[in-house]
Amino acid sequence: MTHKKELNKLVANLTVLYTKLHSFHWYVKGHSFYTLHQVFENYYNNVTETLDEAAERLLAIGGHPVSTLKGSLELATIKEATEKESTQEMVAQVLKDFELLINDLTHLMSVAEDEGDQGTSDFALGVKTELKKNVWMLKAYLA
Protein backbone atom coordinates (compact mmCIF):
# COMPACT_ATOMS: atom_id res chain seq x y z
CA MET A 1 0.00 0.00 0.00
CA THR A 2 1.39 3.43 -0.89
CA HIS A 3 1.92 6.05 1.76
CA LYS A 4 -0.93 8.11 0.26
CA LYS A 5 -3.29 5.17 0.76
CA GLU A 6 -1.97 4.64 4.30
CA LEU A 7 -2.46 8.32 5.07
CA ASN A 8 -6.00 8.16 3.69
CA LYS A 9 -6.74 5.15 5.91
CA LEU A 10 -5.55 7.29 8.83
CA VAL A 11 -8.00 10.03 7.77
CA ALA A 12 -10.82 7.45 7.70
CA ASN A 13 -9.87 5.98 11.07
CA LEU A 14 -9.67 9.42 12.67
CA THR A 15 -13.10 10.31 11.27
CA VAL A 16 -14.65 7.19 12.81
CA LEU A 17 -12.74 7.68 16.07
CA TYR A 18 -13.91 11.30 16.31
CA THR A 19 -17.55 10.16 16.21
CA LYS A 20 -16.90 7.27 18.60
CA LEU A 21 -15.27 9.58 21.14
CA HIS A 22 -18.28 11.89 21.00
CA SER A 23 -20.56 8.93 21.65
CA PHE A 24 -18.48 7.91 24.65
CA HIS A 25 -18.37 11.51 25.90
CA TRP A 26 -22.17 11.67 25.78
CA TYR A 27 -22.98 8.21 27.13
CA VAL A 28 -20.36 7.65 29.84
CA LYS A 29 -21.91 6.93 33.26
CA GLY A 30 -20.89 6.02 36.76
CA HIS A 31 -18.30 7.06 39.32
CA SER A 32 -15.79 8.08 36.67
CA PHE A 33 -18.26 10.25 34.75
CA TYR A 34 -16.64 13.62 35.38
CA THR A 35 -13.13 12.38 34.67
CA LEU A 36 -13.93 10.35 31.56
CA HIS A 37 -16.40 12.91 30.20
CA GLN A 38 -13.52 15.41 30.12
CA VAL A 39 -10.94 12.88 28.90
CA PHE A 40 -13.11 11.86 25.94
CA GLU A 41 -13.68 15.53 25.11
CA ASN A 42 -9.94 16.18 25.18
CA TYR A 43 -9.37 13.18 22.93
CA TYR A 44 -11.93 14.22 20.32
CA ASN A 45 -10.55 17.77 20.30
CA ASN A 46 -7.07 16.35 19.66
CA VAL A 47 -8.43 14.01 16.99
CA THR A 48 -10.04 17.00 15.25
CA GLU A 49 -6.66 18.70 14.91
CA THR A 50 -4.87 15.53 13.85
CA LEU A 51 -7.57 14.69 11.30
CA ASP A 52 -7.27 18.13 9.71
CA GLU A 53 -3.47 17.89 9.61
CA ALA A 54 -3.59 14.40 8.08
CA ALA A 55 -6.08 15.43 5.38
CA GLU A 56 -4.12 18.59 4.56
CA ARG A 57 -0.87 16.61 4.44
CA LEU A 58 -2.50 14.20 2.01
CA LEU A 59 -3.67 17.08 -0.18
CA ALA A 60 -0.19 18.62 -0.06
CA ILE A 61 1.36 15.45 -1.49
CA GLY A 62 -1.24 15.09 -4.23
CA GLY A 63 -3.63 12.72 -2.51
CA HIS A 64 -7.40 12.83 -2.14
CA PRO A 65 -8.58 12.46 1.47
CA VAL A 66 -11.82 10.60 2.07
CA SER A 67 -14.40 13.17 3.14
CA THR A 68 -17.69 11.31 3.50
CA LEU A 69 -18.92 9.21 6.40
CA LYS A 70 -19.75 6.34 4.07
CA GLY A 71 -16.29 6.43 2.54
CA SER A 72 -14.66 6.65 5.94
CA LEU A 73 -16.58 3.65 7.26
CA GLU A 74 -15.62 1.61 4.19
CA LEU A 75 -11.92 2.43 4.55
CA ALA A 76 -11.52 2.52 8.33
CA THR A 77 -10.37 -0.36 10.48
CA ILE A 78 -11.65 1.29 13.67
CA LYS A 79 -15.20 0.20 14.45
CA GLU A 80 -18.10 2.49 15.33
CA ALA A 81 -19.49 2.75 18.86
CA THR A 82 -22.70 0.85 19.55
CA GLU A 83 -24.04 3.24 22.23
CA LYS A 84 -24.28 0.19 24.52
CA GLU A 85 -20.71 0.09 25.86
CA SER A 86 -20.07 0.09 29.58
CA THR A 87 -17.61 2.63 30.96
CA GLN A 88 -14.88 -0.04 31.13
CA GLU A 89 -15.63 -1.13 27.57
CA MET A 90 -15.38 2.48 26.40
CA VAL A 91 -11.92 2.90 27.90
CA ALA A 92 -10.80 -0.51 26.61
CA GLN A 93 -12.02 0.31 23.10
CA VAL A 94 -10.24 3.67 23.05
CA LEU A 95 -7.08 1.92 24.23
CA LYS A 96 -7.43 -0.69 21.46
CA ASP A 97 -8.12 2.01 18.86
CA PHE A 98 -5.09 4.04 19.93
CA GLU A 99 -2.91 0.92 19.74
CA LEU A 100 -4.26 0.18 16.25
CA LEU A 101 -3.42 3.73 15.19
CA ILE A 102 0.10 3.40 16.61
CA ASN A 103 0.66 0.26 14.52
CA ASP A 104 -0.75 1.95 11.42
CA LEU A 105 1.41 5.04 12.02
CA THR A 106 4.52 2.89 12.37
CA HIS A 107 3.73 1.31 9.01
CA LEU A 108 2.96 4.72 7.48
CA MET A 109 6.34 6.03 8.66
CA SER A 110 8.15 3.11 7.03
CA VAL A 111 6.27 3.36 3.73
CA ALA A 112 6.61 7.16 3.60
CA GLU A 113 10.36 6.94 4.19
CA ASP A 114 10.68 4.24 1.52
CA GLU A 115 8.87 6.57 -0.89
CA GLY A 116 11.06 9.56 0.08
CA ASP A 117 8.43 11.52 2.02
CA GLN A 118 10.15 12.49 5.26
CA GLY A 119 7.48 15.13 6.00
CA THR A 120 4.73 12.54 6.23
CA SER A 121 6.96 10.29 8.31
CA ASP A 122 7.68 13.16 10.70
CA PHE A 123 3.97 13.96 10.97
CA ALA A 124 3.20 10.31 11.76
CA LEU A 125 5.93 10.22 14.41
CA GLY A 126 4.45 13.22 16.20
CA VAL A 127 0.99 11.66 16.27
CA LYS A 128 2.40 8.30 17.36
CA THR A 129 4.31 9.90 20.24
CA GLU A 130 1.15 11.54 21.62
CA LEU A 131 -0.86 8.34 21.25
CA LYS A 132 1.78 6.33 23.14
CA LYS A 133 1.40 8.70 26.09
CA ASN A 134 -2.38 8.27 25.96
CA VAL A 135 -2.01 4.48 25.84
CA TRP A 136 0.16 4.56 28.96
CA MET A 137 -2.48 6.62 30.80
CA LEU A 138 -5.37 4.42 29.69
CA LYS A 139 -3.52 1.28 30.77
CA ALA A 140 -2.89 2.88 34.17
CA TYR A 141 -6.60 3.69 34.44
CA LEU A 142 -7.60 0.11 33.63
CA ALA A 143 -5.03 -1.45 36.01
Q: What is the pLDDT of residues 17-35, one digit of tens each?
A: 999 999 999 999 999 999 9
Q: Where are the domains of the chain?
A: 2-142
Q: How far apart are CA 130 and CA 127, in angstroms?
A: 5
pLDDT band at 1 (very low <50, low <70, confident <90, very high): confident
* Mean local confidence (pLDDT), 61-75: 97
Supply the DSSP string of 19-68, one letter for each residue.
HHHHHHHHH--STTHHHHHHHHHHHHHHHHHHHHHHHHHHHHTT-----S
CATH architecture of 2-142: Up-down Bundle (1.20)
* Mean local confidence (pLDDT), 55-62: 97
Identify the pLDDT of residue 139: 97
